[in-house]
A and B are shown apart, each in its own frame.
Chain A
Amino acid sequence: MSLGNRINEIWKESMRHKGLIGLALPGLLFVLVFSYMPMFGVIVAFKDFNFADGFWGSPWVGFKNFEFFFKSDAAWQVTRNTIGLNLSFIALSTVVSISFALMLMELTRRSVKVFQTTLFFPYFLSWVVVSYVTYALLNPQMGVMNGLLERIGMEPINWYLESKYWPFILCLAYLWKNVGYSTLIIYTGLLGIDKSYYEAAAIDGATRWQQIIRISIPLIAPLIILVTLLQVGRIFYSDFGMFYFLTADSGALYETTDVIDTYVFRALRVSGDIGMASAVGLYQSIVGFVLVVSVNWVVRKINRDNAIF
C-alpha cells in the first residue's frame, strides 16, 4: 500500500470515528502535556539548567552532570539501597502473601472478611500518616520501642540516628502497609482454582498439605511469577513517601535509606542542582525501561499469555 493510500485510509477511519476521537481527545491531551512533553525535557540532563534561560536557552555541558554523579559515592550508595531494599520487599511480600493467602483459604468466608478488613486497613493510610505511627513507636524519649527496651533492661536506641536498624524497619513498614493488598491478589487467584481438583485429590486420599503443594502452588505459579516480575521491572523506582517521611529525611540514615527517588528530590529541591537531578532521573528512567522490557521478554518466553505487552 502506498503512503498516500495509507494516509487516506487513516483519514477515512478517523472521520468514521470522529465522535470517539472527540471523546478521547481531552484525555489524550493531558497525557501529551504531562507525560510526553517532559520526555523531550530530558535534554536538561545534558545542560547546565537555569530557570531564566529554560529548556532551550541553558548552555550545553555534555555528560558533565552524569560524570559528577557517577564519580560521587552517592551513585553506588543510592543504587545499592534502591535495589537491595526493593529486592527485600519483593522477597518478603511474596513469601508472606502466599502463605497468608493459603491460610485464608482454610477459613470460612466470614472470618476471611474480618481479617481482610484489618490486614487491609494500613493500605489506606498515606505515608505521612504512617510516619506519625512510626514516630510514636520510635520517638527516642517517649516512644513505645524504647519504653519496651527499658523495661527489659536494655539501653534505649536513638532510632533516627542509627542507620543499621533501618533496613529492617523499612521492611516491616512496607509489609505492614502492603500485606493486605498483596495477600488479596494471591487469594483471589486461589479462589479462581476449580474446586473439583481438590475434591478429586481428597477422594484419592491426599492430605491438605499435599493438596497445597501439588495443586494450589502450581496453579497460582503463573500469577506469582507475573506479580513478582512486575515488581522486578519497577526495582529502580521506590515509594518516595516511605523513604522520605518515615526516616524524617534524617541525614544520619542516608547510608542505608537513601534511594534514587529521594536523592533526585533533594538534588532538585534542596541543593538546587537541577542538571544533576535530571541526569540521575534519566539514568533511572532508562535502566528502569530496559528492565521492564527485558522482564516482559522473559515472561513472554515462559508464558505468552502473561506478557504485559
Chain B
Amino acid sequence: MNTRQSVWSRRVIILWFTVFSIFCIVPFVYVISISLSEETDIAMYGYSLIPRSFTLNAYEYLLQSPKQLITGYTVSILVTAIGTLLSLLLTAKLSYALSRRDFRGSNKMSFYVFFTMLFSGGLVPWYILIKKYLMIDDSYLALILPYVIMPWHVLLMKGFLSDIPLALVESAKIDGAGEWKIFYRIILPLSKPALATVGLFIAFVYWNDWWLAMLFIDNQNLIPLQYMLYRIMNNIQFLSTSMQSANISIDVTQMPNETARMAIAIMAAGPILFVFPFFQKYFIKGLTVGAVKG
C-alpha cells in the first residue's frame, strides 16, 4: 500500500472525487448566486456562478410582504412537528410489538404491515377514500394522517428494537410491570438513538412533502412550503414556455423577480441544509441498518 504507485492512484482518486463533488454542488451554488444577484444583471447577462454585484434585494423583497412565506413556514413546521411526534410514537409502539420474539402473533402482524410494501390499491382508490369517505381533505389532517405509518419506518425501527434483549422485558414482567409500562419506562428510554434516527427520517418525509398538498389542499392558508415552491415555479415556466412558443418578445426585466424566486427556493431548502451536516451520521446509520436488515 505504501508504494509510490498507490500514492499516485490515491491522488488521482481524490482529484476525481473533488471534481465530482464540485459537480454535485455547483448547480445548487447557481441557485444561491442567482438569489444574491441584481435583477438587471440577470436580465442582461443571464445567470452566473458568481454574482456580478452582490445584493440582498431579493431577500429584502420577500421579507417586505412575507405573508405567503410565513404561511408556508407555519404550515410546514406544524405538520412536521405534529406529524413526526404522532408517527414516531405509533411507529415505535407497532414496531415494538412486531419485534417481540415471544409474541407468536408478531409474524402475522409483520406480514400484514409489510405486505403493503408489495401491493397497493393504487393512487385513485386511496385518493377517493381520503377525499370522499374520510373527508379530511383541505385540512391539516390530510397533510399528516396518510404518512403516520410507513412500512419502511416500521422496518427500520423493528431492526433497532430487536437488539434489545428479551431478558430485560422478562425481568420487568416478574417485577409486575405491564406491557405499556415496560414500553414507556424501559423500551423508549433505551431506544433514544433509534428514535432519533427514525424520527429524523419521518421529519424529513413531512418537511419535503408536496404530494399530499398537491392532491388534497385548496385552502390558501394550508399550503406548505414545498408546494408553495412548486406553484411559484409552475407560474414562471408557464409564462416562459408560452412566450417562447408564441414568439412574443417581452422585455425579460418585466418578468417578475427571477432572483426572488430563487431566494424562496433557498429559504425552503434552508432548514434541511442547515440540519443535514449535524445529523448526517444518524441518516447514514439508519440507511445502512435499513439496507442490511431490510
Partner-B contacts on A (CB < 8 A): 10, 13-14, 17, 19-24, 26-28, 30-31, 33-42, 44-45, 49, 51, 54-55, 103-104, 106-107, 111, 115-122, 124-126, 128-129, 131-137, 139-144, 146-147, 158, 160-161, 176, 179-181, 184-185, 188, 202, 208, 227, 240-241, 245, 248, 250, 261, 264-265, 268-269, 274, 277-278, 281-282, 284-285, 288-289, 292-293, 309
| Those of B143-187 within 8 Å (CB) of chain A | 145-146, 148-149, 151, 154, 178-180, 183
Quick one: given A24-B97, A41-B129, A188-B291, are A137 and B121 in contact (CB under 8 Å)? no
| Residue of B27, B215, B288 most packed against chain A (CB within 10 A) | B27
Find out whether the CB atom of B13 lies under 8 angstroms from the CB atom of A103.
yes
Q: Which residues of B contact A45 (CB under 8 A)?
A: 124
- A226–B199 Cα distance when bound, in Å, is 27
Q: Which residues of A contact B10 (CB under 8 A)?
A: 106-107
Q: Does B118 contact A (CB under 8 A)?
A: yes
Interface size counted on chain B using CB atoms at 8 A: 102
Name the contact of A23 in the complex, choosing from B16, B46, B93, B124 (C-beta under 8 A).
Answer: B93
Find out whether the CB atom of A27 lies under 8 angstroms from the CB atom of B116.
no
Find out whether the CB atom of A268 lies under 8 angstroms from the CB atom of B124.
yes
Quick one: given A20-B97, A106-B13, are A132 and B31 in contact (CB under 8 Å)? yes
Find out whether the CB atom of A23 lies under 8 angstroms from the CB atom of B96.
yes
Find out whether the CB atom of A41 lies under 8 angstroms from the CB atom of B27.
no
> Smallest Cβ distance from A72 to chain B, in angstroms?
17
Q: Does B272 contact A (CB under 8 A)?
A: yes
Find out whether the CB atom of B125 lies under 8 angstroms from the CB atom of A119.
no
> Smallest Cβ distance from A67 to chain B, in angstroms?
17
- A26–B92 Cα distance when bound, in Å, is 11
Closest partner residue, chain A, to B16 (CB atom): A103
| Those of B277-291 within 8 Å (CB) of chain A | 277, 280, 283-284, 287-288, 291
Quick one: given A44-B125, A132-B265, are A143 and B47 in contact (CB under 8 Å)? yes
Q: Which residues of B contact A124 (CB under 8 A)?
A: 204, 272-273, 276
Quick one: given A28-B94, A188-B292, A281-B122, are A115 and B128 in contact (CB under 8 Å)? no
Find out whether the CB atom of B240 lies under 8 angstroms from the CB atom of A141.
yes
Closest partner residue, chain A, to B291 (CB atom): A185
Q: Does B53 contact A (CB under 8 A)?
A: no
- A240–B97 Cα distance when bound, in Å, is 33
- A289–B119 Cα distance when bound, in Å, is 6
Q: Which residues of A contact B104 (CB under 8 A)?
A: 13
> Smallest Cβ distance from A305 to chain B, in angstroms?
12
Quick one: given A39-B120, A141-B46, A250-B241, are A133 and B27 in contact (CB under 8 Å)? yes
Q: Does B126 contact A (CB under 8 A)?
A: yes
Quick one: given A20-B97, A121-B24, A268-B123, are A38 and B245 in contact (CB under 8 Å)? no
Q: Which residues of A contact B64 (CB under 8 A)?
A: none
> Smallest Cβ distance from B3 to chain A, in angstroms?
10
A129-B269, A132-B262, A144-B49 known, 7 other contacts, Cβ within 8 Å: A20-B100, A24-B93, A27-B93, A51-B128, A55-B133, A179-B24, A292-B118
Find out whether the CB atom of A27 lies under 8 angstroms from the CB atom of B90.
yes
Find out whether the CB atom of B24 lies under 8 angstroms from the CB atom of A119.
yes
Find out whether the CB atom of B148 lies under 8 angstroms from the CB atom of A44.
no
- A196–B260 Cα distance when bound, in Å, is 57
> Smallest Cβ distance from B128 to chain A, in angstroms?
6
Name the contact of A41 in the complex, choosing from B121, B154, B269 (C-beta under 8 A).
Answer: B121
Closest partner residue, chain B, to A264 (CB atom): B123
From B55-63, B77-85, B190-198, B229-237, give the one contacting chain A: B229-237
Report the 9 A-B pairs with minimum CB-CB distance, sorted nearest first. A41-B125, A19-B179, A281-B122, A27-B94, A38-B121, A278-B124, A24-B97, A118-B21, A126-B208
Find out whether the CB atom of A23 lies under 8 angstroms from the CB atom of B94.
yes
Name the contact of A181 in the complex, choosing from B24, B31, B226, B287 (C-beta under 8 A).
Answer: B287
Q: Which residues of A contact B127 (CB under 8 A)?
A: 268
Q: Which residues of A contact B269 (CB under 8 A)?
A: 125-126, 129
| Those of B87-134 within 8 Å (CB) of chain A | 90-91, 93-94, 96-98, 100, 103-105, 109, 112-114, 116, 118-129, 131-134
Find out whether the CB atom of B128 lies under 8 angstroms from the CB atom of A34.
no
Quick one: given A139-B240, A264-B124, are A248 and B118 in contact (CB under 8 Å)? no
- A36–B116 Cα distance when bound, in Å, is 8
- A147–B34 Cα distance when bound, in Å, is 14
- A56–B109 Cα distance when bound, in Å, is 29
Find out whether the CB atom of A21 lies under 8 angstroms from the CB atom of B105.
yes
Name the contact of A22 in the complex, choosing from B180, B230, B288 (C-beta under 8 A).
Answer: B180
Find out whether the CB atom of A31 lies under 8 angstroms from the CB atom of B16.
no
Q: Does B50 contact A (CB under 8 A)?
A: no
- A274–B126 Cα distance when bound, in Å, is 12
Name the contact of A136 in the complex, choosing from B34, B109, B145 (C-beta under 8 A).
Answer: B34
- A19–B230 Cα distance when bound, in Å, is 45
Q: Which residues of A contact B178 (CB under 8 A)?
A: 19
| Those of B193-235 within 8 Å (CB) of chain A | 204, 208-211, 215, 226-227, 229-230, 233-234
Q: Does B54 contact A (CB under 8 A)?
A: no
Q: Which residues of B contact A227 (CB under 8 A)?
A: 291
> Smallest Cβ distance from A139 to chain B, in angstroms?
7
> Smallest Cβ distance from B247 to chain A, in angstroms?
11
Q: Which residues of A contact B292 (CB under 8 A)?
A: 188
Q: Does B25 contact A (CB under 8 A)?
A: yes
Closest partner residue, chain A, to B280 (CB atom): A117
Closest partner residue, chain B, to A132 (CB atom): B265
Q: Which residues of A contact B258 (CB under 8 A)?
A: 142
Find out whether the CB atom of B244 lies under 8 angstroms from the CB atom of A161.
yes
